[in-house]
């Protein structure tokens, strides 16, 4: 619309009609946003309802977490911390910020190993997810439109069913006397049951299984848009399918790979249910430590410091994700 206006104006030049056109374009047909901005008092209300909600229930909580992470732990208090603000006897406001919780996080070996383990689990699971998801997304994107709909439905359906129960289902499969061991022993492939439950292997399986749709869907959305004539051209020029894949399809699908990987990596770092149900109790992930500090030790300042540290770690991936998300939403515009 605006582009049309500009080109029309340049066509007409700035003859005698110029100022008149100028006027027409300035006060011409109202765009929804312009109209609302200039005419409707209610717009502020429409903007402010979701805005205030998010400020109160999403932003304010983080500020409170930040505040409490600097507070002093008071094991017997209700709530169990001392306020960082205090009125001194002379009536002056004192602010006491303690960094003990943070320095504890940096120096306690348990925490350091939990951080490294969480990052490792998230990174390995993301790569495994990508390896499993890429061929699946590729096959769906190249299927006929009718079967494509059914296949997508099959991918999304588990996502709608309970996450907790799908993780639970793996306990029955992976246990020492579970289905996989029974089948393998029944077939005579192994003599003694494999120890799969409560290992890192079980955590990887659980995360890859639960987050697979999050990887497949962005990849599919990207692969589906590819121009297949590029592959034909490459073939005509003598390039083999493997080479065409690595020099055309893979580079083109990079945005889908990044989006899917972030959708898996970010929540996997803070994953709580999967490691507590399937993982080992010797090697904890950071989310489990946070919840233990909070519920078992009632150390709210330390739990808050863990949360802030996790956020700082994830802020860069989250911002990259939002950047891609916004580009995707803008790209939808026809």
Partner 1 sequence: MKIRRFLTFPNVALALGLAFLYAPIIVMIVYSFNNSRLVTVWDAANSPTLRWYVALFQDRPVLQAAWLSIRVAAMSATGAVILGTLAGLVLARFGPFRGRALLRGLATAPLVMPEVITGLSMLLLFVSLEQLLRVLLGWQFDRGMLTIMLAHITFTMAYVTVVVQSRLASFDDSLEEAALDLGARPARVFFQITLPLIMPAIMSGWLLAFTLSWDDVVVSQFVAGPGANTLPMLIYSKVRLGVNPSVNALATLMVLIVATGVIVAAVMMKRAERRREREMRMADAGG
- Pick from 6, 18, 31, 99 the residue near partner 1 by CB under 8 A: 31
Burial category of 3 from C-beta neighbours within 10 Å (exposed 0-12, middle 13-18, buried 19 and up): exposed
280 binds partner 1 (CB under 8 A): no
What is the C-alpha to C-alpha distance for residues 175 and 201, in angstroms, rounded to an integer? 12
Instruction: Extract the tokens encoding 88.
Output: 């001194």
In the shown chain, the binding pattern of residues 209 to 248 toward partner 1, with x for contact by CB under 8 A and - for none, equals x--x---------------x--xx--x----xx---x---
Give bridge partners of residue 93 from the DSSP assignment: 87
Q: Which of 84, 119, 123, 169 binds partner 1 (CB under 8 A)?
A: 169
Residues 289-328 that bind partner 1 (CB under 8 A): 290-291, 294, 300, 303-304, 307, 310-311, 314, 317-318, 321-322, 325-326, 328
Judged by CB under 8 A, which stretch of 4-12, 32-40, 94-102, 103-111 contacts partner 1? 32-40
182 near partner 1, rule: CB under 8 A = yes
Least CB distance from residue 74 to partner 1, whole Å? 14
Q: Which is nearer to partner 1, 49 or 254 (CB)?
A: 49
By CB under 8 A, tell whether 99 contacts partner 1: no
The residue among 14 and 34 lying less far from partner 1, judged by its C-beta, is: 34
Q: How many CA atoms lie within 13 A of 99 on its CB side?
A: 3
How far apart are alpha carbons 318 and 41 in whole angstroms?
Answer: 35
Measured distance CA(307)–CA(106) in Å, rounded: 14
Nearer to partner 1 (CB atom), residue 68 or residue 105: 68
Does 20 help bind partner 1 (rule: CB under 8 A)?
Answer: no
Pick the stretch among 9-17, 19-27, 87-95, 264-272 that binds partner 1 (CB under 8 A).
264-272
Please report, for residues 132, 160, 178, 240, 264, the alpha-carbon distance to residue 232 in angstroms, rounded to integers and kept in the order given.
26, 38, 49, 11, 33
Q: Which residues contact 43 (CB under 8 A, 6 or more apart)?
A: 36, 37
Q: Give the interface size with partner 1 as a residue count (CB under 8 A).
A: 108
CA distances from 305 to 64, 108, 114, 317 (A): 11, 13, 14, 20
Residue 30 DSSP class: P
**Residue 130 interacts with partner 1 (CB under 8 A): yes or no:** no
* Cα–Cα distance, 224 to 222 (Å, whole number): 5
| In the complex, least distance from residue 35 CB atom to partner 1, rounded to whole angstroms | 5
- Strand-pairing partners, residue 82, are 72
Q: Report 35-74 residues binding partner 1 (CB under 8 A).
A: 35-37, 39-40, 42-43, 46-47, 49-51, 53-55, 57-62, 64-65, 68
């Amino acid at each position: 619309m605006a582009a049309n206006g500009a080109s029309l104006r340049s066509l007409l030049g700035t003859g005698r009609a110029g100022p008149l056109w100028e006027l027409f374009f300035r006060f011409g047909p109202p765009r929804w946003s312009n109209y609302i901005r200039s005419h409707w008092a209610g717009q502020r209300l429409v903007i402010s309802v979701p805005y205030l909600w998010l400020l109160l229930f999403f932003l304010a909580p983080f500020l409170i977490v930040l505040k409490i992470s600097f507070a002093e732990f008071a094991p017997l208090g209700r709530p169990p911390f001392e306020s960082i603000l205090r009125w001194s006897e002379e009536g002056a406001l004192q602010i006491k910020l303690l960094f003990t919780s943070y320095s504890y996080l940096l120096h306690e070996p348990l925490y350091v190993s939990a951080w490294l383990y969480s990052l490792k689990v998230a990174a390995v699971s993301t790569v495994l997810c990508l390896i499993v998801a890429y061929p699946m997304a590729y096959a769906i994107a190249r299927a006929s439109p009718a079967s494509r709909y059914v296949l997508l439905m099959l991918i999304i359906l588990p996502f709608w069913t309970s996450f907790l129960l799908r993780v639970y289902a793996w306990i029955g499969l992976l246990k020492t006397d579970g289905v996989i061991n029974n089948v393998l022993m029944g077939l005579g492939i192994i003599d003694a049951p494999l120890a799969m439950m409560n290992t890192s292997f079980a955590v990887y399986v659980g995360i890859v299984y639960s987050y697979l749709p999050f990887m497949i869907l962005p990849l599919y959305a990207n692969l589906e848009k590819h121009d297949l004539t590029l592959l034909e051209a490459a073939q005509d020029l003598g390039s083999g399918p493997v080479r065409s894949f690595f020099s055309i399809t893979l580079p083109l699908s990079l945005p889908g790979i990044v989006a899917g990987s972030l959708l898996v990596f970010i929540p996997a770092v803070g994953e709580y249910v999967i490691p507590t149900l399937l993982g080992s109790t010797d090697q904890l992930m950071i989310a489990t430590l946070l919840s233990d500090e909070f519920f078992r030790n009632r150390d709210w300042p330390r739990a808050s410091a863990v949360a802030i540290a996790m956020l700082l770690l994830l802020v860069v991936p989250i911002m990259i994700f939002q950047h891609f998300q916004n580009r995707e939403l803008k790209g939808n515009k026809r």
